[in-house]
C-alpha cells in the first residue's frame, strides 16, 4: 500500500454521470482533483438505449458514457479504475483503495447503485452461467435462444426489447398483474413485440440446471425452459463508504441538502446514491455539477 504524496482539493468517488459531471465542473473551477471510479461510465453504460438525454436523440448507454469519459479526460483529469474500500475523515479525507491511499480536502461520493439480486439459492453460483444482471452486456449471446427477464420496470422492459433482437423468444416474469412502473413508450413497444411473452402474477422460485441455467420454476408451480435469465428488479444504493464516515441516511439513501451537502463537513454526495426523487442520468449530472460548485465555494472560503 503506497500513500499518494499529493493532497487533492477534491476527490470524486464514482465515474458515472454524477461523478464525471462533477469532475468537468471542478476542472473548470481549476481545482486539483482526482476521480476514482471502479467502472468508468457507471451503471448508465449498461442502458441498451437512452432516448431521454437532451440533444442525443437515441444513443446507447455505452456510447453516451464514452463521450462523458472523453470529456473528462480532455480536461487532463485522471480517472483511476480502483475500488475505494475505506474513507477516514481526519483533518482531511484519507481515501483507501487496495493499491493506495489518496488524500483530499473535500469528497464527493457518487457511487450510485448495485443491481438487486433475487436472493434465491444458487444465484451466485449460476451468475455468468445463464444468470445475468446486464442485458446490454450479454444479450448478444442469446441469438436464436430463449431468454427470461425477471422484473416489471424500465430496466426489465428495455432488457426484454433488446433481447428480442437476438433471441427467438423472450419471457417477462412479473409479480403484479400489469406494468405500472415503466414509461408508457416502453410498455407500448413490448405490447407490439411478437417475440415477447408476458407472464404476470408470478415469482421465480427456483433456478433449474446443474452447471448452467436450463429454466426456472415459478410460484404457480409451472416450469419454463430457458437458456438464460436476466434479473432486472432494480438496484440498491452503494452506501457502505458513507456509513463509515457517519453520513446520515434516509431509507438507505444519503440525505443531502440543496447544495448536495451531507451532515459531514466537506463530504458531498450526488446522483443515484442520494435521496433525490428521480434516479436518471440527467438528474445525476445536475447533482454532480451542484456538488462540485459547493465544494469549490467551501474551498475558496477556506472552510
Ligand atoms: C438498465 C438500465 C437502463 C437505464 N436507462 C436509463 C435511461 O434510459 N435514461 C436515464 O436517464 N437513466 C437510465 N438509467 C438510470 C441511470 O443509469 C442512473 O440514474 C445513473 O447511471 C446514475 O448515475 P450515478 O453517477 O449516480 O451512478 P452510476 O452510474 O451507478 O455510477 C456509479 C459509479 O461509482 C463507482 N463506484 C461504486 N462504488 C465504488 C467504490 N467503492 N469505489 C470506486 N468506485 C465505485 C461505479 O464503478 C461507477 O463508476 C438506467 C439504468 C439501468 C440499470
Q: pLDDT tens, 58-112?
A: 999 999 999 999 999 999 999 999 999 999 998 899 999 999 999 999 999 999 9
What are the C-alpha distances in Å from 254 to residues 40, 155, 271, 273?
22, 23, 10, 6
Ligand 1 site, residue 283, Cβ cutoff 6 A = no
Ligand 1 site, residue 138, Cβ cutoff 6 A = no
| Cα gap 243→4, rounded to integer Å | 24
Ligand 1 site, residue 155, Cβ cutoff 6 A = yes
Interval 222-240 mean pLDDT: 95
pLDDT (0 to 100) of residue 19: 98
- Model's pTM, two decimal places? 0.89
pLDDT (0 to 100) of residue 257: 98
> 123 pLDDT band (50/70/90 cuts)?
very high
Distance 222 CA to ligand 1 centre (A): 35
Distance 280 CA to ligand 1 centre (A): 8
| Cα gap 256→273, rounded to integer Å | 10
Q: Give per-residue pLDDT as tens, 206-222.
A: 999 999 999 999 999 99
Q: Give per-residue pLDDT as tens, 30-54.
A: 999 999 999 999 999 988 889 899 9
Name residue, grid cell 423472450.
Answer: 170
Ligand 1 site, residue 237, Cβ cutoff 6 A = no
What are the C-alpha distances in Å from 10 to residues 38, 81, 101, 225, 294?
17, 17, 14, 51, 11
Coil, helix or strand for 270?
A: coil
Ligand 1 site, residue 13, Cβ cutoff 6 A = yes
pLDDT (0 to 100) of residue 46: 87
Ligand 1 site, residue 104, Cβ cutoff 6 A = no
Interval 10-29 mean pLDDT: 98
pLDDT (0 to 100) of residue 5: 67
Distance 272 CA to ligand 1 centre (A): 7
pLDDT (0 to 100) of residue 4: 75
Ligand 1 site, residue 60, Cβ cutoff 6 A = no
Distance 111 CA to ligand 1 centre (A): 8
Ligand 1 site, residue 209, Cβ cutoff 6 A = no
Q: Which atom of ligand 1 is nearest to the CA of 287?
A: 26
Nearest CA to ligand 1 atom 35: 14
Spatial CB neighbours of 29, under 8 Å, sequence gap ≥ 6: 292, 293, 296
Q: Which atom of ligand 1 is nearest to the CA of 40?
A: 49
Ligand 1 site, residue 16, Cβ cutoff 6 A = yes
pLDDT (0 to 100) of residue 3: 73
pLDDT (0 to 100) of residue 303: 77
Name residue, grid cell 434516479.
Answer: 279
| Cα gap 157→293, rounded to integer Å | 36
Q: Give per-residue pLDDT as tens, 262-275.
A: 999 999 999 999 99
* CB of 229 closer than 8 Å to CB of 149: yes
Long-range contacts formed by 181-186: CB under 8 A, 24+ apart: 181/152, 181/153, 181/154, 182/152, 182/153, 182/154, 182/156, 182/157, 183/154, 185/51, 186/154, 186/157, 186/158, 186/161
Q: Where are the beta strands (DSSP E) in 14-133?
A: 33-36, 79-80, 84-89, 93-97, 100-109, 113-115, 131-132
Can you name the residues that pair with 230 across neighbouring β-strands?
Answer: 132, 149
> 259 pLDDT band (50/70/90 cuts)?
very high
Cα angle for residues 44, 178, 49 (degrees, 5° grid): 20
Q: What percent of the chain has pLDDT over 70?
A: 99
Residue 181 reports pLDDT greater than 90: no
For 6, counting Cβ atoms within 10 Å of its Cβ (0-12 exposed, 13-18 middle, 19+ buried), the class is exposed
Ligand 1 site, residue 151, Cβ cutoff 6 A = no
Can you name the residues that pair with 35 across neighbouring β-strands?
Answer: 12, 79
Amino acid at each position: 500500500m503506497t500513500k499518494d504524496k499529493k493532497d487533492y482539493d477534491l476527490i470524486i468517488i464514482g465515474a458515472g454521470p454524477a461523478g464525471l459531471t462533477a469532475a468537468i465542473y471542478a476542472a473548470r473551477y481549476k481545482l486539483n482533483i482526482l476521480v476514482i471510479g471502479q467502472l468508468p461510465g457507471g451503471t448508465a453504460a449498461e442502458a441498451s438505449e437512452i432516448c431521454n438525454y437532451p440533444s442525443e436523440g437515441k444513443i446507447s448507454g455505452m456510447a453516451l458514457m464514452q463521450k462523458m469519459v472523453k470529456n473528462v479526460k480532455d480536461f487532463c483529469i485522471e480517472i483511476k479504475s480502483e475500488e475505494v474500500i475505506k474513507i477516514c475523515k481526519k483533518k482531511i479525507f484519507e481515501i483507501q483503495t487496495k493499491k493506495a491511499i489518496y488524500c483530499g480536502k473535500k469528497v464527493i461520493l457518487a457511487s450510485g447503485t448495485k443491481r438487486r439480486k433475487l436472493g434465491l439459492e444458487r444465484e451466485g453460483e449460476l451468475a455468468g452461467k445463464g444468470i445475468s444482471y446486464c442485458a446490454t452486456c450479454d444479450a448478444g449471446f442469446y441469438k436464436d435462444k430463449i431468454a427470461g427477464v425477471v422484473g416489471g420496470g424500465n430496466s426489465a422492459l428495455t432488457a426484454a426489447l433488446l433481447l428480442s433482437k437476438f433471441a427467438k423468444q423472450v419471457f417477462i416474469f412479473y409479480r403484479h398483474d400489469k406494468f405500472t412502473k415503466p414509461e408508457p413508450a416502453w410498455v407500448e413497444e413490448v405490447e407490439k413485440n411478437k417475440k415477447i411473452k408476458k407472464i404476470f402474477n408470478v415469482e421465480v422460485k427456483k433456478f433449474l440446471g446443474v452447471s448452467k441455467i436450463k429454466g426456472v420454476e415459478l410460484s404457480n408451480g409451472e416450469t419454463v425452459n430457458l437458456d438464460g435469465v436476466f434479473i432486472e428488479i432494480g438496484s440498491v444504493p452503494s452506501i457502505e463508504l458513507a456509513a463509515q464516515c457517519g453520513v446520515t441516511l434516509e431509507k438507505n439513501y444519503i440525505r443531502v441538502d440543496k447544495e448536495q451537502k451531507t451532515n459531514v463537513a466537506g463530504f458531498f454526495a450526488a446522483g443515484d446514491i442520494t435521496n433525490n426523487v428521480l434516479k436518471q442520468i440527467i438528474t445525476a449530472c445536475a447533482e454532480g455539477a451542484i456538488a462540485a460548485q459547493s465544494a469549490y465555494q467551501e474551498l475558496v472560503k477556506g472552510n
